[in-house]
Amino acid sequence: MTVLQQEVRKLTVPPKPRQPKRKIISLVITAVVVAAHVFAWNTTGMSVTAFAEGWQGMVDFIGEAFPPNLSWEVLKPSLEGARTTLWIGLLGTTLSVPASLVLALLATRGMAPGYVYQSARSVLSFLRAVPEIVFALVFVTAVGLGPFPGVLALVCHNVGVMGKLWAESIEDVDPGPATALRSAGAGRIQVASHALLPMVTPQMTGLLMYRFDVNVRSSLVLGLVGAGGIGFLINQSIRTFKFDEMLTHIIVVLVLIIAVDRLSALVRARLS
């Protein structure tokens, strides 16, 4: 054994330094989270007792809904409403693609001047912050009842969400090809079309299919405010106390959502 090996064996592992500050910070964060939940519980009026007392009302409501009314007079408009809901979700997704793509590129670092980048980010944040149902209420007052305001509402909100997701996907790609094109004198449009977009097209398509799935679900809620689709039929059934018809519409919605979910998952799996 060499002298160096003997010296190494004599060395002891230094004790792990204590980090009292980290423990204090963890305790403070835990206390803040617990206090926030207590405050939220009290503010929202959460009550296990009230839920237990209202259980009988829920049982009565479900009892009045069974069995579902599967007569053709109810099932036919339900299927037509589901078809309208599907078209609202489809158009709300596809019509938002051009604006989403433009804003996503402008909201990507290095693809636009600083003030343009910040403006694009602000527009996406605004469109994403306003719920679809608020857009639907605005467009219902502008163009009237029906599927059209539902499509417009989904387009506006989906531009904000999908533009943000696409911008983050573009920023996460390997910067090597884009840097090489810029060094060769390529412009921003050339860099985007030849270096960035080809690398993220599968991921962007997967996100688009995910948003289609979400938009079909969202279009159900939009029907409650007069934007058409099967959600409007569900609202009508509840207002007229025809709970058996309501259950029929819900069953049709369940089948529609499962079909769209399976289609979206299949497409995303093929792209991955």
* pLDDT at site 11: 53
Largest CA distance in the chain: 96
Q: Distance between CA 257 and CA 111 in Å, rounded?
A: 38
- Using CA atoms, how far apart are residues 91 and 218, in angstroms rounded to an integer? 13
Q: Indicate if the pLDDT at residue 95 is higher than 90.
A: yes
pLDDT band of 5, cuts 50, 70, 90:
low
Mean pLDDT of the region 69-93: 88
Q: Are 93 and 158 in contact (CB under 8 A)?
A: yes
Residue 187: its pLDDT value, please? 67
Is the pLDDT confidence value at 196 over 70? yes
Q: Is the dihedral of CA 155, 156, 159, 165 positive or negative?
A: negative
Amino acid at 125: S
- CA distances 169 to 29, 67, 257, Å, are 31, 47, 27
What is the C-alpha separation between 212 and 222, in angstroms, rounded? Answer: 15
Least confident of 75-79, 89-93, 111-115, 247-251: 111-115
pLDDT given for residue 236 in this prediction: 85
* Torsion angles phi and psi, residue 14, rounded to 5: -65, 145
Closest Cα partner for 253 from 205, 210, 219? Answer: 219
Residue 60 has a pLDDT of 74
Domains in the chain: ranges and CATH: 69-271 (1.10.3720.10)
pLDDT of residue 16: 58
Give me the pLDDT at residue 17, please: 57
The whole-chain average pLDDT of the chain stands at 82
pLDDT exceeds 60 at position 226: yes
Sign of CA dihedral 110, 113, 119, 123: negative
Question: Phi-psi region for residue 13, left (φ > 0), alpha (ψ -120 to 50) or beta?
Answer: beta
248 pLDDT more than 80: yes
pLDDT digits (tens, 9 = 90+) for 15-68: 555 566 778 888 889 999 999 999 998 888 887 787 777 777 777 777 777 888
Neighbouring CB atoms inside 10 A of 162's CB total: 28
Angle (CA) 156 158 161, round 5°: 120
Q: Quick one: average pLDDT of 198-210?
A: 82
Question: Looking at residue 19, what is its pLDDT?
Answer: 63
Q: Are 147 and 88 in contact (CB under 8 A)?
A: yes
User: Residue 32's pLDDT is what?
Assistant: 93
Looking at the chain, the whole-number percentage of residues with pLDDT higher than 90 is 16
Q: DSSP letter for 173, please.
A: S
Q: How far apart are CA 201 and CA 205, in angstroms?
A: 6
Q: pLDDT (tens digit, 9 = 90+) per residue, 114-151?
A: 788 899 899 999 999 998 888 888 888 888 888 888 89
Are the CB atoms for 222 and 231 separated by under 8 Å? Answer: yes
Element (H, E) at 17: none
Alpha-carbon distance of 93 to 173, in angstroms, equals 24
What's the pLDDT score for residue 37? 92
Percentage of the residues of the chain whose pLDDT score is greater than 70: 86
pLDDT over 70 (residue 207): yes
